[in-house]
């Protein structure tokens, strides 16, 4: 059976990992680390400032383009009008050397464009096929390429911003903790070893080691994501520059 998009069964394990990672980053960013920033930086990070909104809009933008990349059907126009519930024929190599010959797909049984490719994972022809992304559980083609590109780019920028925030908290924790205790809820706390999570709505008291261990764990996860997505972004920037370069 052909798959329609990234929500079609079977779902991919890496797809679940991507969403869990995104939720962890969002939860810890806005529930733990950003509330510890000094007042003016906290407003900027939350996206309240008109001129310097960063993190809040960035996370929302990433979620939107991620959903668009997953939900888009990147198949050829002639494939999209067909009935996806119809089983695909079995490819017979004794009759045809290739799945697509003379711009005709013997599996989809339709005429396709010049740069189309039949994806074995999705079992359909993709317009301007780039690759099958297990993290999206969907193919990347011309119909969702820019959503995919924006998804990767926004993730890299968002992870970089979060890494800066966490490293600032670590440095400020060593240099002077008063800058991290500007929230009014800290006025009722006299123990310097006690910190608050989930400010300002649901403050939960925790000890300093919990804060430091959580920050270190998220920072490691952040750096791993930056290394993985960073090289992917650089590769696609190179492809865009190469494709747009004059002959």
Which residues are catalytic, by number?
133
3-state secondary structure of 68: helix
Rg of the chain on CA atoms, in Å: 24
From residue 136, give the alpha-carbon distance in Å to each of 19, 20, 42, 69, 132: 10, 13, 32, 7, 8
Residue among 230, 228, 231, 180 at smallest CA distance from 17: 228
Rounded to whole angstroms, how far apart are CA atoms 247 and 40?
A: 49
- Beta carbons of 184 and 51 less than 8 angstroms apart: no
């Amino acid at each position: 059976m052909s798959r329609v998009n990234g929500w079609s069964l079977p779902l991919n394990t890496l797809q679940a990992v991507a969403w869990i990672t995104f939720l962890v980053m969002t939860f810890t960013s806005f529930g733990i680390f950003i509330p510890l920033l000094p007042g003016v930086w906290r407003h900027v990070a939350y996206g309240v400032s008109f001129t310097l909104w960063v993190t809040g809009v960035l996370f929302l933008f990433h979620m939107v383009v991620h959903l668009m990349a997953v939900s888009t059907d990147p198949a050829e126009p002639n494939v999209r009008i067909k009935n996806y519930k119809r089983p695909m024929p079995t490819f017979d190599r004794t009759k045809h050397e290739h799945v697509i010959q003379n711009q005709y797909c013997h599996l989809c049984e339709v005429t396709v464009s010049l740069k189309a490719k039949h994806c074995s994972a999705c079992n359909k022809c993709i317009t301007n096929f780039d690759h099958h992304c297990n993290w999206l559980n969907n193919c990347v083609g011309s119909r969702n390429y820019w959503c995919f590109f924006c998804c990767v780019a926004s993730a890299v920028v968002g992870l970089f911003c979060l890494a800066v925030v966490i490293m600032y908290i670590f440095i400020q924790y060593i240099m002077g903790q008063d800058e991290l205790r500007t929230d009014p809820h800290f006025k009722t706390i006299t123990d310097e070893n006690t910190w608050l999570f989930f400010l300002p709505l649901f403050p939960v008291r925790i000890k300093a080691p919990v804060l430091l261990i959580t920050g270190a764990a998220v920072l490691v996860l952040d750096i791993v994501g930056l290394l993985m997505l960073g090289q992917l972004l650089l590769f696609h920037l190179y492809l865009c520059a190469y494709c747009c370069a004059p002959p």
